[in-house]
Structure 1
């Protein structure tokens, strides 16, 4: 099954996550099919907290990909900002 989930990057105590499309059997930071955005939980000032290609996410969901809980919340956050 294909999942859209987070992979961790960044330094110690400064996490940075890429939002990727991957097979659920792959390791968390392993091989991915496509990178569709990023999430920076420690963003400060003018840094973007979430960047997401919603069209690609919709494409993958229409082809059967499932979102993890955190990614689902991030997608809702981005679409709420876009609607406002």
Structure 2
């Protein structure tokens, strides 16, 4: 199963995270299938590759709780619902 999760980057006391698609059995710092965006918790900045995130979510990728919260704040799920409604 593919998961959308965070991969930690940055120095001590200055974490930044990459939002990645990865096999659920891989470790946190393992090799990702695709890097989908960035999240900086210190200044609350995010950057997404929205078409890729929507692609993985439509194909069954499961976000972790933290990634789900970040995507909710960016209203990605509402855009995903709009895309699904347009296709039917």
Please list every run of 5 or more consecutive structure 1 residues that lacks an aligned counterpart in the other structure: none
Per-residue CA distance 1:1-38 (angstroms, 9 max, x = gap): 10000000100000000000000111101110000001
| Structure 1 segments (4+ residues) deviating >4 Å | none
CA RMSD of aligned residues (A): 1.6
TM-score, length-scaled by structure 1:
0.84
- Normalized per residue, the structure richer in helix is 2
Please list every run of 5 or more consecutive structure 2 residues that lacks an aligned counterpart in the other structure: 80-88
State the alpha-carbon separation in 2 of the partners of residues 53 and 32 from structure 1: 15
TM-score, length-scaled by structure 2:
0.81
Q: Is the 1:39–1:50 Cα contact (8 Å) retained in structure 2?
A: yes
